[in-house]
Each structure stands twice: as structure tokens, then as C-alpha cells.
Chain A
Amino acid sequence: MKTNHLITRREALITGLASVGGLLLSGCSKKLPPTYGNILRMGDTFTYAAHQVLLPGESLVKEYTHGDISSFPATGTTNPGDPNTQFFSEPYRQLQKGSFADWRLSVEGLVSRPGTYSLSDLKRFPARTQITRHVCEEGWTAIAEWTGVPLSRVLEAVGILPTARFVQFYSYDQWADGIDMFDAMHPQTLLTYGMNGRDLSVPHGAPLRLRVERQMGYKSMKYLNRIVVKNEFDDGGMQGNIQNGWAWYVGI
């Protein structure tokens, strides 16, 4: 009787390990973030794979009412146009002087019609307004109303190619980060130019920030200037999360 238990357990373990191996092996085709042999990154990748398998991809995050809007700390870079700060950008300072009239968003990569978009170009797309909760990895939360164009609209406009797998973002505060196509096409993933009924302020990422509502706050990059559609995972090098010791997928 005892022996029977043991065999069942061993079989269960082998089956389990084989399926985990299967999940991690598919990393070779670069659809999963690489682990670099680091056990913490293996855990992150396993969490990402588990969420992809277990969670229904179409779910929307909870949207709140206007009365729920809360105070909102601005952390990380709060002004790339300030020469006394670490991530000072001279081009950003010039754009800021001109109230971002000369700002352009470049959308390129695996698209059939690469192009640049001004703020008024983006505002001509159908807009979406949503009141959602921002969750910082530090542990705090804040609720704000965001107005912008769904990223999916812009990706449709530039015509992403069938091989596209990831969307990579670059910012004026020298950050690079990416999301997969599920998050890119999610209805609540916005390129945001308005916050709480006004233009987005500089501390919160003017003129354009990303909102990725099913992940932690640090995925919602501020001060965007370039979007690149890719067919492979890109960790962003020294400007990205992974090589700075942070998980690329932070749905948890």
C-alpha cells in the first residue's frame, strides 16, 4: 500500500517537472523572457507562463468612479527637463519649453506604415477614458482618471505585421521596456495624454505615458518618445528592467 503511494507520487513529480520543462523550453523560441541562468528570473518567467496559461486574457481591470480619485505621488523621474537630475534630457527640455508642440512619437519596427505622430495626431484617434488603480511595487496604490488612445488603435493604424510578438517602448528618461501582444492589444492599455481631466503633467509623464493596467506601476512608462514592434523578446539592455534586477513581467 505504501509502495503504491510512492510510485504515484513519483509519477506525479515526473509529469509535473516535464510540463514545467516544456514551458521553460519554449523560451528558446524567444517567446518567453530569458532567464540568463538566474533562479530569480526563472521564477519570474514561470509566473509569466503560468499567468498566460491560467488567466483568461480578456479580463478588464476594475474601473472606479470619479469620487474614488485619490492623491497620487509622482515617483522615479519627475522631470527629465531638469539639468540637476540623473536622467536629464536636453531634447526633452527644449520640447518642454515649447509646451510639447514639437514632440513626436515615432512608431516603427515590424509595421507596414511606420510613422511619427504629434500630440494632436494622437488626439484625433478615438479616445478612451478610464478610472483605474495604479499599483506600485513598493506597496502603495492610487486611483486616477486617464485619457488617451488605446495602443491597439495606433498599432492598427501602422499595420503590425503577422510576425509581431512584442512592443518595445523608449522614453526620454532613458528607459526601455516591453510588453507582449496580449497586453499591447488589451482594451485598457492606453497611450495616455490626459490625467484627471487635464493634460498629463510633467511629474506624471508628459506629454505621453503608457498605461498597462494588468501589471505593476513601473510598466506604465512615462515620457515616451519611441515605440518599436518586434518579433523577439528584447530586455532593453542596461536601460531595461531585467539587467537592473527587476522582473520584466509584473502582473503580480
Chain B
Amino acid sequence: MSEASQQPIRTRHARWVRLAHWVGTASFITLAFTGFVILMAHPRLYWGAVGNDLTPALIELPISRNYKHGGWVESTPFFQNGASPVSANRTYDIFNKNGWGRSLHFLAAWFLVFTGAVYLLAGVFTGHFWRHIVPRPKELGPQLWFDVLNHVRMRIRTATGGPHYGLLQKCTYFVVVFIVFPLIVVTGLAMSPAITASYPILLRIFGGFQSARTIHFFAFAVLILFLVAHVLMIIKSGFKRQMRAMTIGQNDEN
């Protein structure tokens, strides 16, 4: 690790970084896929504590046959007053693959959480985050703007095959590692009835189960966008070299 400071331009991805990268990738893709399957069972998003087919949705996603299915009978009010909440029976055979979808989602989540925890600890204690990921305040002005413009114009530098990332690249990794991934994990925990019984603060932070679920979905959307942009940049900056660097840890000069 100490060689890095003497030789700042060409370094290799550390073994623990490569391992965390691929275990994290496999977990994330599994989580994204099963998460989408789970969402297909009830493709409606809400805000607050409560949301179901008998209450108004914030967003309805046109995925799976459950979108606006309308198979409800015997709507009966619970109370005498006019604005009473109601009960209604579902008559519609919905799409629901949550049996394996949920179990695989949580299995992959364990891998993500363990790998993420090791990665975060190692990143702090080896100085990897401070040296390679955390952008400096003085970089966040015109320099960043210039780098954004370069990316928009698809002027992508050839990869160095290791850390010492570009400025926009550093900022993106910073947001993904320290904001979006923690957010998606914590909003996931906020949907657990057992965990929120012990830690009700999770519900207070996000304003309720359904708010947490909605934020969980948008964090997923951000991470999918990141994945697409990340793969695009890998291709533009030299796919073969980047893959070699992130798998066997080799770059052109060593």
C-alpha cells in the first residue's frame, strides 16, 4: 500500500478491492433482479405508513399484469361516517413470484452487507478512500465542471488500469459508496417488521414504511443508471485493460 504514494500515476487495484467489487456486483445484480420481481407483485408506490390497492398511489408502474388490475368486490366501509376506510375482497389472481424472489433478495443482501462492511472498514484503514475516492473541496469548482463537460462530449481518457481516478469518477464513486448504497440498505431494513419493532427510528427517519419503500426504489433506479454509465465508461476507456485490471489486478506497466 505504501508504494502508492511514491508512484501515484500507475497503481494496481488491491486484491480486496477487486474481490469486493465482484462480490458486490454479483450481489447487486441479484438484488436488482429479485427486487424488480418483488416490485412486480405490487407495482404501486406510496408515501407515509400506509399504501394498498384501496388507497391512492403516488406512482403506478406499468409492469406485470398487476398494474391497475381492478379485481375487487364487496367494498364495505368499516365505520358509519361517509369518509370511512373500506374493506374489499381481491378476486384477481395476481402475479406473485415473491416466494423465491424474497428469499433470494435477502440472501444476496447478506452478501452485499458483509462485503460492504469489509470494504468500508478496509477502505478507511488502508487509506484507500482518502487517497483515491474522497474528492478535495478545491476540486469541486470549475475543475469538476470541466470534467463533466468532457464526459458529456465523450472525451474519455484512456484507463490507467488502477486507482487514481478522474475527478467526476471520484465524485460518482463517493456518492454511490457513501450515500446511495447505505441509503438502499437502510431503507431496506426500514421495511422489516422485526427490525423496526426494535429500532422504530428507522420509520421516523423516512416517514413510514411506504416512504422507505419508495426511496428504496429510487435508490435502485439511481444504481441502475450508475451501472449503465459505469459499464459505458469502462468500454470507452479501454474495456480489455480495465477488465484485466479489475480481475487479475494487472495493468500495462506491471
Interface check B185, CB cutoff 8 A: no
Complex contact B89–A74 (CB within 8 A): yes
B141 contacts chain A at the CB level, 8 A cutoff = no
A70→B50 contact, CB < 8 A: yes
Interface presence of A39 (CB below 8 A):
yes
**Binary interface encoding of chain A residues 125-147 relative to chain B, with 1 for a CB under 8 A from any of its CBs, else 0:** 00000000101111111110000
Find out whether the CB atom of B197 lies under 8 angstroms from the CB atom of A244. Answer: no
- Point out the residues of chain B lying under 8 angstroms from A227, CB to CB: none
| Interface contact A46-B110, CB-CB below 8 Å | yes
Q: Shortest beta-carbon distance, A149 to chain B, in Å?
A: 21
* Chain B residue with Cβ nearest A219: B193
Q: Which of B92-100, B154-162, B173-181, B239-247 contacts A (4 or more CB under 8 A)?
A: B92-100
B114's nearest neighbour on chain A, judged by CB, is: A16
Q: Is A181 an interface residue (CB 8 A)?
A: no
- Is the Cβ of A43 less than 8 Å from the Cβ of B104? yes
Chain A residues with Cβ below 8 Å from B195 are 51, 55, 251-252
Report if A214-B52 is in contact (Cβ < 8 Å); known contacts: A139-B213, A201-B87, A251-B192: no
| Nearest CB in chain A: distance from B96 CB, A | 6
Contact with A along B83-109 (1 / 0, CB 8 A): 001111110001010111011101100
Q: How far is the CA of A202 from the CA of B50 in the complex (A)?
A: 23
Please report the total number of B residues contacting A with Cβ < 8 Å.
Answer: 52
Q: Which one, B71-79, B131-139, B144-152, B227-235, is touching chain A?
A: B71-79
A139: which B residues are within 8 A, CB to CB? 38-39, 41-42, 44, 213
* A238 on interface, CB distance cutoff 8 Å: no
Task: Give the residue name and chain of the B residue nearest to A46 (CB).
Answer: B110
A44-B106, A245-B100 are contacts. A252–B192 as well, Cβ < 8 Å? yes
B210 proximal to A (CB < 8 A): yes
How far in angstroms is the closest Cβ of chain A from B237?
27
B2 CB-CB contact with A under 8 Å: yes
CB distance B90 to A73 under 8 Å? Answer: yes
Is A137 a contact of B198 with CB atoms below 8 Å?
Answer: no
Is B110 touching A213 in the complex (CB atoms < 8 A)?
no
What's the nearest-Cβ distance from chain A to residue B64, in Å?
11
CB interface residues, A 76-101, toward B, < 8 Å? 78-79
A138-B42, A214-B193, A247-B103 known; A68+B2 contact, CB < 8 A: no
Interface of A, helix, strand, loop or mixed by DSSP: loop
Q: Smallest CB–CB gap between B231 and chain A, Å?
A: 28
Query: Nearest B residue to A57 by beta-carbon distance?
Result: B198
Q: Cβ of B85 and Cβ of A71 under 8 Å apart? A: yes
Verify A71–B52 contact, CB threshold 8 A.
Answer: yes
A51, B53: Cβ atoms under 8 Å? no
A62 touches B203 (CB 8 A): yes
- Write the residues of chain A forming the contact surface with B, with a CB cutoff of 8 angstroms: 1-2, 5-6, 9, 39-44, 46-47, 51, 55-56, 59-62, 64, 68-75, 78-79, 133, 135-143, 195-198, 201, 203-204, 213-216, 244-247, 250-252
The answer, yes or no, to whether B196 is at the interface (CB within 8 Å) is yes
Interface contact B103-A41, CB-CB below 8 Å? yes
Minimal Cβ-Cβ distance residue in B for A61: B197
- Beyond A43-B110, A133-B209, A139-B38, list 9 extra A-B contacts (CB 8 Å): A40-B103, A40-B104, A44-B103, A55-B198, A71-B86, A72-B86, A74-B89, A137-B41, A139-B213
List, in ascending order, chain A residues with CB within 8 A of B76's CB.
Answer: 201
8 Å CB contact of B78 from A42, A69, A141, A247: A69
B-chain residues with CB within 8 Å of residue A75 when the two chains form the complex: 89-90
B49 located at the interface, meaning its Cβ lies under 8 Å from any Cβ of chain A in the complex: yes
- B33 at interface, CB cutoff 8 A: no
- The answer to whether B193 and A215 have CB atoms under 8 Å apart is yes
The answer to whether A73 and B87 touch across the interface, beta carbons within 8 angstroms, is: yes
How would residues 158 to 196 of chain B score, 1 for a CB under 8 Å from any chain A CB and 0 otherwise? 000000000000000000000000000000000111111
- Asked whether, in the complex, the Cβ of B54 is within 8 Å of the Cβ of A138, the reply is no
- The CA-CA distance from A40 to B13 in the complex, in Å, is 33
Is the Cβ of A143 less than 8 Å from the Cβ of B38? no
Q: Using A140-B51, A203-B87 as known contacts, say yes or no to A47 and B99 having CB atoms under 8 A apart.
A: no
